[in-house]
Amino acid sequence: MNENIGAEDLETIAFEIGVVVPKSSGNNKDGDETNDCIEVLVDEFRKAGLIIDRVVGLQNEFLRLGAPLKTLGQAAAELQLKKRTHIGVDLQFHWDEVEAYERQPDGSLFSWFERYCCYRHIIYGIVNTSTSTVILKSDGNEVHWEPGKPLLRTLESMGIVKEVFPVHDETKRKQLLRSWALNWWDFTVQPIDDICNYYGTKIASYFAFLGMYTRWMLFPAAFGLTVQLVDFGSLQLFVLSAFFISIISWAVLFFQFWKRKNSALLVRWQMNYPAVDNESKYLEGEWYQFQSPVELMKKQGADKTDKPRGKEAFQREEWLGHFMRFRNDAMIILSIICLQLPFELAFAHVYEVLRSDVSKFCLTAVYLFTIQYFNKIGGKISVKLVKYENNKNIERRADSWVYKVFGLYFMQSYIGIFYHALLHRNIMTLRQVLIQRLIISEVLENMLENSLPYLKYSFKKYRAVGNKRKREKGTSSEKTQYMSRVEKEYLKPDYSASIGEELEDGLFDDFLELALQFGMIMMFACAFPLGFAFATLNNITEIRTDALKLLAMLRRPIPRPDATIGAWLNIFQFLIVMSICTNCILLVCLYDHEGKWKISPGIAAILIMEHVLLLLKFVFSRIVPEEPAWIKANRMKNATHVHDMCSRQLLRSISGEKMHAELKKDE
């Protein structure tokens, strides 16, 4: 425990970062303690203004780091972090004008993402300021801390610091558990502000979306239930068409209103509307941990030297970017059509042909195993392709990756169902397939998603305890059984994506599940109106199980700077357009029992051409941006220029105004 800090401070300060170091073996306890690298690290942390709580676990020692507001504020000022002020404009943070900045909804000055950036800046900012290499010791080995090098990186590269990860804040976690995960009474109501404070904007926007989606879903669920259960007799086809039209309208309106809600959330969370435009360098550098710092510095240096680039350079870069993006997307689409489509069709066909249930089951098992592998490879290839694109920041890179990978999943999930639908032209068979898929995907996935992390955690814990026992045979067993909370967290799995974890976190899987479900119920709405009711039930449980997973099963996730649902918005929109077309095909196929409805190949060809052209129009409109890159760059430069020029003056007048107002209130 840190002796310099009083008890009252400790109560208010949350420990939010954990550093895992090996347990000191006690051999050099009597030796030269000043040079032990752990001690030096702790000392440097203390010097940097952090408060440290050292917990000795079974196998490792854990340093829990907390920071007083002032330490964070100074780091924020060094990072040149921009913060929303009371007049609604983002200005650079200065610690002495702290009154000018708007507070978070819970009253704290910094958001979790900002705090995380500051923590990382502080702990990775401890460099050797002397001119000579400092030699540290670690269990007998020597560590060379070279001048100008950050200490933590040096220790990380030596394997002494095993991991740095955000840790849960127990009081807040328990509060959220009560008010959110276990609060089953209000079906879709969630404490979004608290989630945002605790998990950051990206995860909060996922839950806000999920909540709103579930709430809106009640309408089509009710309508679908009516259509399914009531027999309208000869009017059936008309009722179904009405249902089709109303769910399309519902979906379009929902996403428009979601965009509105999202922009309101952005205001509430003090983010700028096009969050992309105003992101400064530090976000990229900090969040993108996979890029080595040397590379990053080189990149930033390069950026600075060719800053006064001309229009031509911008345009060249812009078009090159578009070309790379286009090429990558074309490659993905081609390989999906040429490789995946035949495979999926072959599976669907063989499944149809097989008679015995056992062989069907075996085939499905083989298929499921294959597509897992297939998806992993697809994800890796996509990650590589995306690296060649010059996306503006890590979030846009992730979006680009999501589009590519979603293509795979899209084919996988729907092509088999379509094959069944078109082959049998029988509404009952199709319904069976859909029910199977919905139940399998939703129930099984939900179970897996929640049990897998727990199993992983249990296994790790079991092994850790076992190891400990092995080593410490003979000592008192009660001490061995005790496991500190931070150690438990260390053993818990990350919130990471099943594929492509370089670019995405666990939100990918959660959103993928939602999108596939949305596609399933929308694209086959006319065949299975009950699907909406299924999905509603599933989503209501999904909210709570996801919450539980985040709060109890996993480590606290690393916060992401984005506050929108990113690529998924466009994917949902695409699914709406697709569902217009597929429902029409379904209506034709399903209600043309006698095969009387004919269409000649000429007309069919022209119809396909029409649809391709309509698609082309909207793809082209997306590919060519309306505003050239150099204009955007210019505008951004100008805006920052102004704010930089009069930032100080503004800040002073804002905080002055505020104090004045407060004084008045007091009088």
- Which residues in this chain contact its own copies in the complex, by CB under 8 A? 87-89, 241, 244-245, 248-249, 252-253, 256-257, 259-260, 263-264, 267, 273, 576-577, 580-581, 584, 587-588, 591-592, 596-600, 602-603, 606-607, 609-610, 613-614, 616-617, 620-621, 624-628, 631, 634-635, 637-639, 641-643, 645-646, 649-650, 653
Which tokens hold the place of 354? 């097989």
- What is the nearest approach in angstroms of its own copies to the Cβ of residue 215? 17
Minimal distance, residue 622 CB to its own copies, in Å: 9
Which one, 34 or 236, has the nearer CB to its own copies? 236
**Nearer to its own copies among residue 300 and residue 638 (C-beta):** 638
In sequence order, which residues have a C-beta less than 8 Å from that of residue 55 and are 6 or more positions away?
A: 61, 62, 63, 64, 484, 486, 487
Shortest spacing between CB 642 and its own copies, in angstroms: 5
CA angle 304, 309, 314 (to 5 degrees): 115
Contacts of 422 (CB under 8 A, 6+ apart): 585, 589
CB of residue 362 to its own copies, shortest distance in Å: 40
The nearest distance, CB 465 to its own copies, in angstroms, is 53
Nearest distance from C-beta of residue 85 to its own copies, angstroms: 9
* Choice between 309 and 617, CB closer to its own copies: 617
What letter does residue 24 receive in the DSSP assignment? P
Q: Which is nearer to its own copies, 77 or 578 (CB)?
A: 578
Q: What's the burial of 156, exposed, middle or buried (CB within 10 Å: 0-12/13-18/19+)?
A: middle
Residues 6+ apart with CB under 8 A from 396: 276
CA distance 174 to 321: 46
Calpha distance 551→558 (Å, rounded): 13
82 vs 168, beta carbon nearer its own copies: 82
Q: Which CB sits closer to its own copies, 529 or 557? A: 529
- Do residues 512 and 501 touch, judged by C-beta distance below 8 A? no
Quote the least distance from Cβ 271 to its own copies, whole Å. Answer: 12
Q: Which is nearer to its own copies, 262 or 412 (CB)?
A: 262
Return the beta strands (E) in 176-237 as ranges: none
Nearer to its own copies, 323 or 597 (CB): 597
Token pair, residue 528, equals: 């299975």
Q: Which of 342/656 has CB closer to its own copies?
A: 656
Cβ at position 621, least distance to its own copies in Å: 6
Nearer to its own copies, 274 or 293 (CB): 274
User: In whole angstroms, how close is the CB of 638 to its own copies at the nearest point?
Assistant: 3
Q: Which is nearer to its own copies, 182 or 642 (CB)?
A: 642
Shortest Å distance, C-beta 235 to its own copies: 15
Amino acid at 499: I
Please answer whether residues 213 and 201 qualify as being in contact, where contact means their C-beta atoms are separated by less than 8 angstroms: no
Angle at CA of residue 104, ends 547 and 550, nearest 5°:
15
- CA torsion 442→443→446→447, rounded to 10°? -160
Q: Of 327, 331, 336, nearest to 389 (Cα)?
A: 327
CB atoms closer than 10 angstroms to residue 434: 21
DSSP letter (8 states) at residue 186:
S
SS3 177: helix
Contacts 24+ apart (CB under 8 A), 275-280: 275/395, 275/561, 275/562, 275/563, 275/564, 276/392, 276/393, 276/395, 276/396, 277/632, 277/636, 278/82, 278/90, 278/636, 279/392, 279/393, 279/561, 280/80, 280/81, 280/82
Nearest distance from C-beta of residue 639 to its own copies, angstroms:
7
Residue 246 or 429: the one with the smaller Cβ distance to its own copies is: 246
- Nearest approach, Cβ of residue 305 and its own copies (Å): 22
